[in-house]
């Protein structure tokens, strides 16, 4: 290969591009290689490069071959290969650059420990920046792929009640049509309903010609108009007609392939929850929703001709739909929001409330333009800027800024290492600077030399950091719940890395280059070599900054894990342990009661309840409002949850009654009985046993008051809750005995097969579902832990090298002290105290900052842990211990060395 001399001219390469079997490398990269390569070696090296490229092209494909070619060209960019161009003797000629690179390379090789620390620290910082940069890019790209995303908005209702600001996105069914009809600025409107109350969410499904059911998530009721507004990408079917007919269904590509293989399934029928009386006809197949879409469902059920109850589509008294609008270009959004608020309240909401029986005087107090309005939330801001519960998965713009800040700080710590070590080892470079100035070098030459060194370190570090980031992608995706990848093939990625390497290299080298180039030849050549140890205020300040950042991250990590422990171990008002949730039982219809009774007969089972309303996310919810029967004007409506449960619900979940009694199915009067929690009793007036309360479903007699229990996240305060006797059939909660859990599940599985031979058993545990509500907290803790470790590692690398150079500079002093009788302990304390002092200062700065930041984070939780003093004691002790471990080796080595060795060297 070394003798290969084929000339790959531009014409020849152009011809190669037309031959896919041969391929050709990126032209810009090849031109860059030809620009810097020594002409004497160019043809040989280029021939080898091209031969290797073609071999990779045939074995690995064009993409990988191009990536490897770019790396090969960058790795060849070194002093022995760069062409020696001598145009003039001024500062800008290429021979000077060649000289800079040679000296930089020799310095790097000669000072291996220093180089490894600088490059390693830089590389870790770069890897962290790349990973967090990919995370931020992914978060900021949500919903921007929709063609009309700049014109699309989601309606948000904002209402102030008793001084509390509430937001929501649930609106009445006729709202979307009214918006398009009444406001000319709205060119189109559409809705979806993802409430499990009506059959969205999770269901059993199968093709009509298959007898076995499969469990699927991601069902939603969807308007055809919303399909049109989003301009969803279709694989099969007509985008304009896919949901136009009653009982139409759109499925995504991945589900189409699962159930129908590669064939076109449009026109085929699917059965949901074994309901053969209502089959769904597939009207289209969508390309899978992108991971960066806040709307991400697999089964879109059309709402043409659909009513969940008679008159529901024209009823303004129930809010169950997410409503979106597309506005005309140039619309003034603030003006439109004001018009919508006034028009919707006066024309629809207030008349509907009066029609429902609310007196005008109460309406005037309950809802006005002063305490209620609508907002239009831009589509591309829904993911990051939604600060209320809308039953969708969201990010948080604060986390984006936080992680961005962490990335910058870790990189700054690495840059600080370079600055600190460069100035600390200035004595080692002082003679070099003095001699170069004596033989004629001007200050700008010396500055150029040191900037070249820092840039070389930066380029190598960026290359290594990119490799580390690529290797860490799977781990990062697992803790961040992302699916990001390094965008090798994008046009901007490699140029961005190169530009960043140059920028960081120059920024990191500016201070050391100006500092080192300022040495006076006379002084340093006379032996004054301790300049780097003097004027160390900046160096100390930078060390303090490094450890301040690291300690803040440590405080954040401990507080997050304390909050997670608080959540999982707090008394929540119900017993979540040994409760198995048997799911998908709604397909059994009337047999579900029989199954529940037979489960109770199993010796492993303590109790069973049939109820879809559970105190964990992902179960049914039903918002409603209650008021005292025969209320007077001063009695407000109380917003509440309204759940239908059976008479075994409270016993199965261990919910305690503080007053009254439980339901009794044998009492006919209990069909109109209600149990409320303490919060609701307080809102309604206090002593409510025997009192009657009303909602839109009827009037109920309060027979019991339950102890408050957390049925939503601990981020929210406990809200009013009402339970009435009924039966929801899609989940059975089974309270089990603690012993032999494997045997318990086997017994339940055997019984399940008797009732549902064509449906696999599906179950989970209540405590696992509860813990899953806080996966974002656990994920954040893992991310904080990971980046805390990186920050401390980089800071300790710098501290280790800094202590080594300080020991080296004070070696003669140490030897003299030892000769004069100083003990090893005294020498050790002398060398370590200055560094420990800096860590203590860093702790004093970091403690209040960490407390403020984490107190702000905990504000998201209505129930939270305390930020106690032991957190700061722990982080302070940890930081000091880490610092001591880092510098102990160098200090002890200096204290144990024989004084004669250092004195002879002097």
For residue 723, list its beta bridge partners.
643, 675
By the 8 A CB rule, do 214 and 204 touch?
A: yes
CA distance 368 to 360: 12
By the 8 A CB rule, do 326 and 225 touch?
A: no
Angle (CA) 731 732 734, round 5°? 145
CA distance 76 to 626: 76
CA distance 886 to 543: 13
491 secondary structure, DSSP code: T
By the 8 A CB rule, do 327 and 151 touch?
A: yes
Which pLDDT score, from 0 to 100, does residue 10 have? 43
DSSP calls for 668-731: GGGGGEEEEEHHHHHHHTS--TT-EEEETTEEEEEEEEEPP---S-TTS----EEEEE----SE
DSSP calls for 854-904: HHHHHTT-SS-----HHHHHHHHHHHHHHHHHHHHHHHHHHHHS-HHHHHH
Which pLDDT score, from 0 to 100, does residue 535 have? 45
By the 8 A CB rule, do 26 and 70 touch?
A: yes
Angle (CA) 117 119 123, round 5°? 115
By the 8 A CB rule, do 628 and 616 touch?
A: no
CA distance 633 to 266: 56
By the 8 A CB rule, do 713 and 388 touch?
A: no
- Using left for φ > 0, alpha for ψ between -120 and 50, and beta otherwise, residue 516 falls in alpha
Instruction: Report which of 16, 47, 10, 7 is spatially closest to residue 28, judged by C-alpha positions.
Output: 10
CA distance 28 to 494: 12
Which pLDDT score, from 0 to 100, does residue 429 have? 66
Give the CA dihedral 166, 167, 173, 174, nearest 10 degrees: 90
3-class state of residue 82 by DSSP: strand
3-class state of residue 207 by DSSP: strand
Angle at which helices 27-36 and 39-60 cross, to 10°: 150
Give the CA dihedral 595, 598, 604, 607, nearest 10 degrees: 70
The rounded mean pLDDT for the chain is 83
Write out 736-769 in H/E/C secondary structure: ECCCCHHHHHHHHHHHHHHHCCCCCCCEEEHHHH
CA distance 458 to 795: 17
By the 8 A CB rule, do 127 and 472 touch?
A: yes
CA distance 138 to 132: 10
Which pLDDT score, from 0 to 100, does residue 534 have? 43
Q: Are strands 638-645 and 234-237 parallel, antiparallel or unpaired?
A: unpaired
Tokens linked to 438: 């004596």
Which pLDDT score, from 0 to 100, does residue 87 have? 44
410 CB burial (10 A radius; 0-12, 13-18, 19+): buried
By the 8 A CB rule, do 737 and 606 touch?
A: yes
Q: Which residues of the chain have pLDDT under 50?
A: 1-21, 87-92, 529-535
Angle (CA) 716 719 724, round 5°? 140
Which pLDDT score, from 0 to 100, does residue 230 have? 95
Residue 427: partners with Cβ closer than 8 Å, 6 or more residues away: 529, 530, 531, 532, 533, 809
Which pLDDT score, from 0 to 100, does residue 658 have? 93
By the 8 A CB rule, do 95 and 85 touch?
A: yes
Instruction: Report which of 145, 144, 199, 194 is spatially closest to residue 169, judged by C-alpha positions.
Output: 194
For residue 236, list its beta bridge partners.
285
CA distance 542 to 742: 57
How crowded is the C-beta side of 140, counted as CA atoms within 13 Å?
11
CA distance 732 to 586: 10
CA distance 732 to 605: 12
Instruction: Report which of 403, 425, 327, 389 is spatially closest to residue 138, judged by C-alpha positions.
Output: 403
Query: For the whole model, what pTM was predicted?
Result: 0.75
3-class state of residue 579 by DSSP: strand
3-class state of residue 535 by DSSP: coil
Longest pairwise C-alpha distance within the chain: 109
Which pLDDT score, from 0 to 100, does residue 805 have? 66
By the 8 A CB rule, do 850 and 552 touch?
A: yes
Rg (CA), the chain: 35
83 secondary structure, DSSP code: -
By the 8 A CB rule, do 814 and 901 touch?
A: no
Instruction: Report which of 583, 582, 580, 579 is spatially closest to residue 202, judged by C-alpha positions.
Output: 583
């Amino acid at each position: 290969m070394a003798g290969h001399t084929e000339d790959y001219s531009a014409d020849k390469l152009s011809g190669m591009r037309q031959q896919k079997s041969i391929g050709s490398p990126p032209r810009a990269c090849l031109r860059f290689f030809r620009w810097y390569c020594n002409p004497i070696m160019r043809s040989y090296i280029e021939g080898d490069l091209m031969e290797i490229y073609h071999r990779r092209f045939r074995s690995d494909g064009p993409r990988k071959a191009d990536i490897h070619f770019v790396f090969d060209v960058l790795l060849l960019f070194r002093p022995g290969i760069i062409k020696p161009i001598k145009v003039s003797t001024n500062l800008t000629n290429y021979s000077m650059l060649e000289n800079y690179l040679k000296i930089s390379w020799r310095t790097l090789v000669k000072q291996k420990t220093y180089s490894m620390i600088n490059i390693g620290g830089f590389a870790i910082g770069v890897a962290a920046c790349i990973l967090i940069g990919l995370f931020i890019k992914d978060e900021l790209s949500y919903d921007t792929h929709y063609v009309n995303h700049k014109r699309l908005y989601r309606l948000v209702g904002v209402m102030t009640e008793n001084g509390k600001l509430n937001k929501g996105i649930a609106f009445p069914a006729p709202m979307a049509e009214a918006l398009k009809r009444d406001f000319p600025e709205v060119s189109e409107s559409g809705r979806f309903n993802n409430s499990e109350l009506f059959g969205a969410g999770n269901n059993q499904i199968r093709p009509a010609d298959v007898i076995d059911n499969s469990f699927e998530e991601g069902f939603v009721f969807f308007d055809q108009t919303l399909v049109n507004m989003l301009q969803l990408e279709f694989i099969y079917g007509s985008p304009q007609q896919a949901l136009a007919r009653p009982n139409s269904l759109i499925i995504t590509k991945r589900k189409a392939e699962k159930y129908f293989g590669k064939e076109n399934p449009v026109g085929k029928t699917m059965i949901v929850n074994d309901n053969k009386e209502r089959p769904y006809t597939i009207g289209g197949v969508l390309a899978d929703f992108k991971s960066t879409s806040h709307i991400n469902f697999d089964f879109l059920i059309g709402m043409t001709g659909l009513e969940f109850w008679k008159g529901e589509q024209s009823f303004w008294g129930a809010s169950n739909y997410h409503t979106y609008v597309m506005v005309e270009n140039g619309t003034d959004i603030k003006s439109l929001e004001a018009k919508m608020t006034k028009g919707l309240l006066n024309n629809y909401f207030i008349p509907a409330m009066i029609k429902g029986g609310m007196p005008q005087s109460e309406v005037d107090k309950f809802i006005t333009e002063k305490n209620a309005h609508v907002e239009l939330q831009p589509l591309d801001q829904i993911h990051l800027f939604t600060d209320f519960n809308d039953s969708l998965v969201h990010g948080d713009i604060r986390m984006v800024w936080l992680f961005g800040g962490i990335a910058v700080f870790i990189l700054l710590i690495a840059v600080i290492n370079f600055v600190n070590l460069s100035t600390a080892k200035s004595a080692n470079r002082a003679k070099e600077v003095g001699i170069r100035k004596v033989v004629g070098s001007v200050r700008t030459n010396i500055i150029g030399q040191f900037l070249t060194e820092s840039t070389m370190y930066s380029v190598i570090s960026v290359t290594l950091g990119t490799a580390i980031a690529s290797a860490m992608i799977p781990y990062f995706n697992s803790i961040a719940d992302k699916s990001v990848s390094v965008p090798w093939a994008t046009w901007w990625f490699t140029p961005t890395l190169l530009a960043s390497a140059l920028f960081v290299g120059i920024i990191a080298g500016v201070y050391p280059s100006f500092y080192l180039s300022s040495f006076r030849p006379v002084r340093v050549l006379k032996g004054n070599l301790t300049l780097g140890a003097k004027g160390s205020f900046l160096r100390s300040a930078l060390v303090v900054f490094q450890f301040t950042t690291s300690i803040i991250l440590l405080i954040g990590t401990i507080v997050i894990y304390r909050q997670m422990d608080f959540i999982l171990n707090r008394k929540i008002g119900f017993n979540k342990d040994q409760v198995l949730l048997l799911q998908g039982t709604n397909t059994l219809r009337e047999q579900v009661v029989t199954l529940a009774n037979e489960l109770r007969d199993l010796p492993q089972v303590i109790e069973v309840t049939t109820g879809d309303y559970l105190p964990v996310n992902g179960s049914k919810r039903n918002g409603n409002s209650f008021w005292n029967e025969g209320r007077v004007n001063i009695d407000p409506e109380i917003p509440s949850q309204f759940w239908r449960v059976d008479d075994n619900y409270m016993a199965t979940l261990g919910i305690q009654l503080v007053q009254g009694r439980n339901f009794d199915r044998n009492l006919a009067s209990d069909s109109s009985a209600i149990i409320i929690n303490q919060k609701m009793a307080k809102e309604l007036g206090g002593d409510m046993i025997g009192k009657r309360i009303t909602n839109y479903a009827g009037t109920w007699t309060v027979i019991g008051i339950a102890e408050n229990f957390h049925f939503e996240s601990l981020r929210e305060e406990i809200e009013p809750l009402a339970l009435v006797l009924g039966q929801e059939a899609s989940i059975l909660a089974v309270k089990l005995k603690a012993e032999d859990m494997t045997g318990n599940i086997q017994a339940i599985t055997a019984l399940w097969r008797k009732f549902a031979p064509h449906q696999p058993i599906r179950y989970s545990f209540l405590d696992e579902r509860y813990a899953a509500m806080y996966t974002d907290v656990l994920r954040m803790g893992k991310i904080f832990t990971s980046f805390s470790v990186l920050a401390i590692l980089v800071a300790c690398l710098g501290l280790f090298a800094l202590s080594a150079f300080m020991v080296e500079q004070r070696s003669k002093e140490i030897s003299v002290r030892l000769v004069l009788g100083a003990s090893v302990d005294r020498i050790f304390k002398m060398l370590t105290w200055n560094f420990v002092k800096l860590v203590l200062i860093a702790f004093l700065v970091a403690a209040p900052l960490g407390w403020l930041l984490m107190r702000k984070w905990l504000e998201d939780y209505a129930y939270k842990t305390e930020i106690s003093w032991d957190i700061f004691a722990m982080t302070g002790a940890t930081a000091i211990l880490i610092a001591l471990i880092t510098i102990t080796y160098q200090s002890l080595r200096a204290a144990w060395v024989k004084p004669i060795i250092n004195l002879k060297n002097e």
